[in-house]
């Protein structure tokens, strides 16, 4: 039976709320292997989660922030953040990338985190306070409708979240809207090889597990270009399933982006969430 976009979003919200509660209550680390965008249950694989951050970074973070890491990469390692910049993390979860970004941009910079899950937002705010971070702001909202004004952000990062959206074209155009001309993205995401059809991607995992909803490399590149980006690159870093990879996505917003319609992105087949 097919699943609606609202149902998929609610399933994502519920799973991530469960992960936040597990960390807060000390019952376990985030529910990796249970359908969340995290570990496949094999610690040695280090495909998702806190293992993708080096020991020095983890040492500067509250334990709860690393336990709540459900990403597929480390966007702060590739975003090349500078003192005084404003950075936005889409799907900020427990706040690990916002905290690291806030440290990089310094007291004259600002780091926003956007998340739709109350439990994750509460955890992230607590983690930022414990880390002594005063230049982080956490916002509630969805990545398809970013609650920030146009041309207000220098850098957008995200960690294994865009693939969860059922409206990726809107996400990409919203990113372009909030970025200043010349602004850039440094995103970690799960991306499919071009040879895989949406149906084949769905066979490899659930939507909530970050597999079924993944764009192909070509779709990602075309979507970013249509949204007004240049210098687009989608580089595979590690395989997470047959034909599916953790990837680093980079692009720069054109100085004077052309007025274009929404990029055409064929949605992946909607598999069941569990």
Q: Where are the domains of the chain?
A: 5-253
- The residues pairing with 250 across neighbouring beta strands, listed in sequence order, are 186, 233
pLDDT of residue 51: 47
Each residue's pLDDT, cut to its tens digit, for the chain (274 residues) gives: 455 667 666 666 677 657 656 656 665 544 343 334 444 444 334 444 444 444 445 446 545 545 444 556 677 777 889 999 999 999 998 898 999 999 999 999 999 999 999 998 999 999 999 999 999 999 999 999 999 999 999 999 999 889 888 899 999 999 999 999 999 999 999 999 999 998 888 777 654 445 567 899 999 999 999 999 999 999 999 888 889 998 999 999 998 644 455 555 544 443 333 3
Please, are residues 116 and 147 in contact by the beta-carbon 8 Å criterion?
A: no
Q: Which CATH class is domain 5-253?
A: alpha beta
Question: Which residues, in sequence order, are CB contacts of 59 under 8 Å at separation 6+?
Answer: none
Q: Distance between CA atoms of 167 and 46, rounded to whole angstroms?
A: 29
Q: Provide the CB-side half-sphere exposure for 215 (13 A, CA).
A: 28
Helix (H, G, I), strand (E, B) or coil at 209: coil
For 29, phi then psi, to 5°, come to -75, 180
| pTM of this structure | 0.78
């Amino acid at each position: 039976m097919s699943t609606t976009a609202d149902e998929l979003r609610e399933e994502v919200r519920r799973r991530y709320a469960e992960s936040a509660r597990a960390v807060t209550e000390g019952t376990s680390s985030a529910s990796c292997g249970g359908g969340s965008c995290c570990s496949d249950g094999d610690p040695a694989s280090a495909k998702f989660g806190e293992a993708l951050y080096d020991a020095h970074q983890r040492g500067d973070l509250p334990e709860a922030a690393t336990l709540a890491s459900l990403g597929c990469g480390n966007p702060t390692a590739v975003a090349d953040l500078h003192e005084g910049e404003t950075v936005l993390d889409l799907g900020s979860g427990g706040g690990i990338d916002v905290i690291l970004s806030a440290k990089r941009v310094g007291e004259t910079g600002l780091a926003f985190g956007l998340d739709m899950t109350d439990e994750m937002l509460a955890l992230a705010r607590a983690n930022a306070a414990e880390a002594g971070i005063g230049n982080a702001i956490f916002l509630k909202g969805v990545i398809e409708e970013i609650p920030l004004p146009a041309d207000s952000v220098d850098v957008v990062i995200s960690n294994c979240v865009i693939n969860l959206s059922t409206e990726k074209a809107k996400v990409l155009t919203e990113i372009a809207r909030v970025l200043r001309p010349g602004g850039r993205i440094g995103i970690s995401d799960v991306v499919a090889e071009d040879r895989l059809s949406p149906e084949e991607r769905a066979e490899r995992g659930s939507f909530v597990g970050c597999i079924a909803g993944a764009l192909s490399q070509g779709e990602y590149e075309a979507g970013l270009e249509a949204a007004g980006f240049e210098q687009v690159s989608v580089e595979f870093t590690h395989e997470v399933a047959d034909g599916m990879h953790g990837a680093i996505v980079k692009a720069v917003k054109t100085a004077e982006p052309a007025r274009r319609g929404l990029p055409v992105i064929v949605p992946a087949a909607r598999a069941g969430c569990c």
